[in-house]
Amino acid sequence: MPEVALPPVSLVTSLPRDADLVVVGLAEASEAPVLVGIPEELEKACRKQFGRSARDQAIRFGASAKAGSSAVVPGPDGLRLIVVGLGDIDVTPEQVRRAAGNGIRLAASLAVGDDAVAVAISLEAVEPEVIKGAAEGALLGCYRFAKLSTTASKPAVSSISIVSETRGSEAKRAVELAGSIAGAVWLARDWVNQPPNLLYPDSFAEEAKEAVKSAKLGVEVLDEKAMEKLGFGGILAVGGGSERKPRLVRLSYTPRGAKFHLALVGKGITFDAGGLNLKPGDSMYTMKCDMAGAAAVIAATRAIAELGLRVKVTCYAAMAENLPSGTAYRPSDVLTMYGGKTVENGNSDAEGRLVMADALVRAAEDSPDLIIDVATLTGACIVALGERTSGLMASDDQTADHILDAAEAAGEDFWQLPMLPQARKKLDSKVADIKSTGNRWGGALTSAAFLREFVPDGLPWAHLDIAGPAFNEEGAYDYVPAGGTGVGVRTLVALAQSLQS
């Protein structure tokens, strides 16, 4: 897999002399917009050279305080300022994260040829969480997928400096956290963006093993023969239509002193043609992203280990390719899942819940304190919540609240949907223990009800449906690129931080 490395990030107290561009903010205030983060020396130089304040210079060249806006503004002595809209003057870490992402994307677009630019982010970041937001937003914003080309991809940003008057271990730790988390998001994005002829179950499993080699993780990969022996009927059925056989990857992280055990389960359908319930052609084009859940849990587990968080993590990634062929599974087939439960298959294009069900049962055997599954599971969730908000369904409100708190801290949008008894009733089967699908109404809820059947009673569980935000088919915005977004990684890491001993 070709890679573009993250640029180095440093924490500095003053503007670096080698900075090519400086990102500052413009915020809304009661009387007039306020320029945030302009270094004193640049303010003085602006007044001397242009006869106006840096704020007036910014407004003159089209800068706005509106969140999401950005403008290139001529600064003193040939230095270019990038002025980003912050919105309200009482900025949050997420506002800074988005502003830094906007600024760095614009800065990267100004790089000429092979000459990468050095960028300083000066947004008056003082608290560690705001420093982390600035560094994280900048790193996430300068991501780009390395094109599969004879011409090697080169970085557009050579270095990032976070200007802050705050020093000390907490501030430095904030930058380290941002680097590890952004690196994990980049990894997930790269996997989602890879074409399916290069990323398939076996190659995905091998890349996962390679990606976590430097972390203190145990790795186990089950191939189709091992899964057949153990009875993973869901994963084997879904992968049965492809010549590229399925895999189940298990990662384990067991740090000293950990008292909480978190299990993560990710959907890894490397390409989803729908099986015999074949998708329309236009709907199939982006189905290389159907492994985004597996990418998220693997990448998050690596980050948790790199950061040395004191929480035990067991991660399962269920990988298969869902294609139509003479060996593909059929609607009305009855499958015997891992653990023995039987499932009447309702639709071969509802394959994700089948591979997840097998992995959930296996994850529960490790006796975790909490199981979270992450999947691009239903179009119904996109219909309900749109393309930028993920769905959350949980066994209980306390578990849901804990995850929502982590998502808010990470800056990712989740919305809790209900677990309703009537959703489970739609899954009653006359020929098996349960049917995999209901009718067309409330599809996100029935899929969650199905998964819930494979988690033991009393074990806290949550299901994250990331079908909408996992792949951005629009243009880049804030720190989110077009293509794979890496959604879910930051929330899982933030959750692990909150669960530490």
**Residues known to be catalytic:** 279, 353
At residue 276's C-alpha, the angle toward residues 272 and 280, to 5°, is 60
Give dist(CA 159, CA 233) in Å, integer: 49
Q: CB-hemisphere CA count at 13 Å for 63?
A: 32
Q: In what order do the strands lie in the sheet with 334-336?
A: 334-336, 342-344, 434-435
Tokens linked to 272: 């989803």
Residue from 64, 84, 82, 85 nearest 73 by CA: 82
Residues 6+ away with beta carbon under 8 Å from 370: 260, 261, 262, 263, 399, 459, 460, 461, 462, 499
Give dist(CA 162, CA 252) in Å, integer: 34
C-alpha 191 chain-centroid distance: 11
Tokens linked to 263: 């299990």
Give dist(CA 288, CA 229) in Å, integer: 29
Tokens linked to 182: 């952004």
At residue 237's C-alpha, the angle toward residues 378 and 454, to 5°, is 60
Q: What are phi and psi of 62, to 5 degrees?
A: 90, 10
* Cβ-based neighbour number of residue 425 at 10 Å: 11
Write out 136-187 in H/E/C secondary structure: HHHHHHCCCCCCCCCCCCCCCEEEEEEECCCCCHHHHHHHHHHHHHHHHHHH
Give dist(CA 215, CA 307) in Å, integer: 9
Q: Do 199 and 288 meet the contact criterion of CB atoms below 8 Å apart?
A: yes
Give dist(CA 86, CA 99) in Å, integer: 6
Place of tokens 């998220």: 296
DSSP string, 403-426: HHHHHHHHT--EEE----HHHHHT
Name the strand (E) or helix (H) holding 249: strand 247-253
